[in-house]
Structure 1
Amino acid sequence: MARSLRDRRGGARLRAVALIGIDGSGKTTQAHHLAEALTAAGRPATYHRNAGGRRWLGRVAQRLGRPDAERLVGRRGLLAVESVLRWLAIAAALLSCLVTGRTAVMDRYSACQYASIRAHGGQRWERLARAGYRLFPPPQVTFLLAVDPAEAYQRIERRGTDHETMGWLTAADTAYRTLPEFPSFVVVDAGRPPEEVSRQIRAHLAAWLPAQGAAPAEAAAPAAPPPAEPAPAAPTGTPGPVARPVDDAGRGPGLLVAGQA
């Protein structure tokens, strides 16, 4: 399958790969691992975190005595800030990719903003966001890291850097699965151990990597010399030369043909 995909893509350069999914699905971890793996495989890649600033706004809100970002700037304000900050981050990542020629590994992409808008119940704003994000080409591969919202909730609680409600995680999971782009996503089971998730991702991208050269042929063992040809036998009935011993004086007449002595 990898070979057929490679043939169909004609060796096209892998410009951008996106990893999307709900919070706690492991996007950041897998994006870092993927950038390292692509670079090690001869496809230089750079990690780009295309955050929308919701976590940062949440911290600001808590410092100001508000429970979350939405309570600080309102739902519309949050969606507007997210859309603008993520747009700027994606634009910078694509520009960097264009200038350096490296593959951009995107930790979040435009689909994350569409899902966020849907999860917040702001479908009207989705049309506006799509109009602004239409400038960006879709990544050649978009991985949706699918994980049960309950598992994602536990992961977020364990890392202890932020907090999400089960209601939000469930709504975000549904939003991703109802996007019109969903059929084009490569869905990865992110509930497995991180090493297995990384293997799934790399296995799919093997079709985009340079074809591995065939293993060098083993050095051929030197050919054995041909067997020495036996000396030709004397013709039948013809006596061969016979050595005649030398006499006491040390004289030897040389060879004496048998029958002539």
Structure 2
Amino acid sequence: MTRAVLTHPRLVSLEGGEGAGKTTAIAAIRACLQARGHEVVLTREPGGTPLAERIRDLLLDPRGEKLEAETELLLMFAARAQHVRQVVRPALQRGAYVVSDRFTDSSYAYQGHGRGLDAEWIAELERRAVGLKPGLTLLLDLDVREGRARISGRDLWPDRIEREQDDFFERVRAGFRQRAAAEPERFRVVDAGRPPAEVGAAVDAALAAWLDGQA
């Protein structure tokens, strides 16, 4: 029997393209949740456990052998399966909020739209290897060229994905926006082209409104 994907109200994910400012947004999310007295577990994908971090290194190392799109997708889900079982589910079970810098929506955007892999295959992996969906996903939406300009002076050695061309990231952005349009009850889209303080305030307001709606 195929496992269902369950939406969990205390799982919050943050998505967006390169240079969208996720660090600022995560700080705002943590502050908002802690101000309400909640335990907050911050984590990231790919990564979050020692093994998943080693897989992350394989995925992002620009010096390694060429990764086929299918290999990239399966490694992403191998890391995610480990992450969900060792970090995400235990934290949720004890009542904490889990805030993840990227989750499965990134696979639909990057490996689905960006690499052209079948969305149904990704959905099947999501059902069988993950089984969880965030109750809230904050999408930091940013013009691709602006995002690339932001990271160009930050990373002296861009990772394997950061070295992709603009057309790849345009497809990724379109993938995120398509998912947000398809699930408006879960997604909140934030204009990440504004100054960091304004982005943080917008994230805080979106999260607070969502939390109040759950009460």
TM above 0.5, yes or no, is yes
Partner of 1:57: 58
**Whole-Å separation in 2 of the counterparts to 1:86 and 1:137:** 11
C-alpha displacement at 1:98, in angstroms?
A: 2.5
C-alpha displacement at 1:206, in angstroms?
A: 1.9
User: Aligned with 1:31: secondary structure?
Assistant: helix
Kindly report which structure 2 residues correspond to 1:127-206, keeping only aligned pairs within 5 A, or say none: 127-134=120-127, 135-160=130-155, 161-162=157-158, 163-164=162-163, 165-179=165-179, 181-184=182-185, 185-206=187-208
C-alpha displacement at 1:209, in angstroms?
A: 5.6
Partner of 2:100: 106
The letter for the 2-side match of 1:84 is A
The letter for the 2-side match of 1:142 is T
The letter for the 2-side match of 1:187 is V
Kindly report which structure 2 residues correspond to 1:171-250, keeping only aligned pairs within 5 A, or say none: 171-179=171-179, 181-184=182-185, 185-207=187-209, 208=211
- Identify the structure with the greater strand proportion: 2
Partner of 1:116: 110
User: Aligned with 1:141: secondary structure?
Assistant: strand
TM-score by structure 2 length? 0.76
The 1:59/1:142 distance shift into structure 2, 3 A limit, reads closer
* Identical-pair percentage: 28
C-alpha displacement at 1:107, in angstroms?
A: 0.8
The letter for the 2-side match of 1:201 is V
Partner of 2:3: none
Residue pair 2:29, 2:207 contacting (<8 A) in 1 also:
no
Kindly report which structure 2 residues correspond to 1:32-51, keeping only aligned pairs within 5 A, or say none: 32-51=27-46
C-alpha displacement at 1:17, in angstroms?
A: 1.2
User: Aligned with 1:104: secondary structure?
Assistant: strand
The letter for the 2-side match of 1:57 is L
User: Aligned with 1:140: secondary structure?
Assistant: strand
User: Aligned with 2:131: secondary structure?
Assistant: coil
TM-score by structure 1 length? 0.64
**Whole-Å separation in 2 of the counterparts to 1:197 and 1:108:** 17
Partner of 1:240: none
The letter for the 1-side match of 2:125 is G
User: Aligned with 1:15: secondary structure?
Assistant: strand
- Identify the structure with the greater helix proportion: 2
For residues 58-108 of structure 1, the C-alpha deviation after alignment (integer angstroms, 9 at most, x for no partner) is 55341x4x5xxxx2x322211221222133223433223224321111111
**Whole-Å separation in 1 of the counterparts to 2:25 and 2:121:** 30
User: Aligned with 2:17: secondary structure?
Assistant: coil
C-alpha displacement at 1:139, in angstroms?
A: 1.7
**Whole-Å separation in 2 of the counterparts to 1:34 and 1:41:** 11
For residues 2-31 of structure 1, the C-alpha deviation after alignment (integer angstroms, 9 at most, x for no partner) is xxxxxxxxxxx9512111111221224322
C-alpha displacement at 1:178, in angstroms?
A: 2.5
CA radius of gyration, larger in: 1
Structure 2, unpaired ranges of 5+: 1-7, 48-52
Residue pair 1:25, 1:152 contacting (<8 A) in 2 also:
yes
Task: Report which structure shows greater RCO (CA 8 Å, sep ≥6).
Answer: 2
Residue pair 1:90, 1:109 contacting (<8 A) in 2 also:
no
